[in-house]
Amino acid sequence: MPIPQTTVSAISEATLVARWLSGPRGVRQTEDGRSVRVLFPGVPGGGSGPDVRDAVIELAGDELRGDIEVHLKSRGWYQHGHQNDPAYGRVILHLVAENDAGTLVSSHVSGRAIPIAVTAQHPFPGYAPPCTLHPDPRPTLAALGLRRVQSKAATIAARLRFDGPAQPLYELIVNAVLPVGLAAGHWSPAQAEGELATLGAPGTYGRLKRLEGWLSTAGEPPFKKAGALQGGLLLHAQYCSRGRCGACPLSSA
């Protein structure tokens, strides 16, 4: 729905961009009737290309990430040749002050139909973090909590792809599970020692390589189990790195 021409002529594209970047709050609607919620307004595009980069919106319940292009009138999309420009292939929303073309979407040579949103008739309050979007913040906090855990899982997944599961699982057990179990009284020292004696070590750390042969027994590598590896790390930190005893290879280091 167009707004009065006097209102459109009184603003500029730069003003619309600045208002969008300030973080419009609440649900709006595209010209084809889909609801729009701004999750992250994006960053200024700068130079050629779309006005706003890397925005995140929720369109009819689907989360989209991409660019926002802003015009005073919807015909500007075609007048500027954006429909044939590959640089505008990531645009997810065409933001206008007036839909003078009367179309529901703006087309792109890629075959995508980019929704149009008329925004000048709406106020643009300041950016609101997710916790202010609903009266009850608990569902939002729960969703953000899941997102944080998923982010950690993605980091671990990358390590699993390159290193396999042994090292991450080993670090989790010896650096978190066992210490917390001991501190909370769920395990006794003897039980923790038993766990370390049965848990395999992922390999010998670089700082212990020179000790490996020295501490071997009948050709058996000393750091095959988690307990021995942790003991070797403590030995190195509290003794080997503090002075030369004259007995092992590290004495000449």
**Of 153 and 110, more confident:** 110
Helices first, then strands: H and E counts in the chain: 9, 8
Report field, pTM of the whole predicted structure over 0.85 = no
| Whether residues 16 and 85 fall in one domain | yes
CA distances from 149 to 31, 92, 135, 144 (A): 37, 28, 24, 9
End-to-end Cα spacing for the chain: 79
Residue with more model confidence, 167 or 101: 101
**How many structural domains compose the chain?**
3
In this structure, are 16 and 113 located in the same domain?
Answer: yes
Q: Could you tell me if 47 and 116 lie in one domain?
A: yes
The closest alpha carbon to 213, from 242, 248, 237, 252, belongs to 248
The 10s digit of each residue's pLDDT in 33-82 is 888 888 888 899 977 899 999 998 888 888 888 999 999 999 999 999 99
Q: Decide: 69 and 51 in contact? Cβ < 8 Å.
A: yes
Q: Are residues 112 and 26 in the same domain?
A: yes
**Per-residue pLDDT tens for 176-234?**
899 999 999 998 999 999 988 888 887 777 778 878 878 888 778 888 888 888 888 88
Does one domain contain both 183 and 140? Answer: no
Q: Would 249 be classed as within a structural domain?
A: no
Residues 60 and 66: their CA atoms lie apart, in Å, by 16
**Residue 51: predicted pLDDT:** 95
Residue 144 is predicted with a pLDDT of: 76
59 shares its domain with 39? yes
Question: Same domain for 171 and 157?
Answer: no
How many C-beta neighbours within 10 Å does residue 95 have?
27
| More confident site: 230 or 136 | 230
Beta strands in the chain (DSSP E): 27-29, 35-40, 43-44, 52-59, 62-73, 91-98, 105-107, 113-118
Range of the domain at 33: 5-128
Q: Are residues 105 and 14 in the same domain?
A: yes
Q: Which residue has the higher pLDDT, 159 or 100?
A: 100
Residues 156 and 173 in one domain: no
Q: Does a structural domain hold residue 248?
A: no
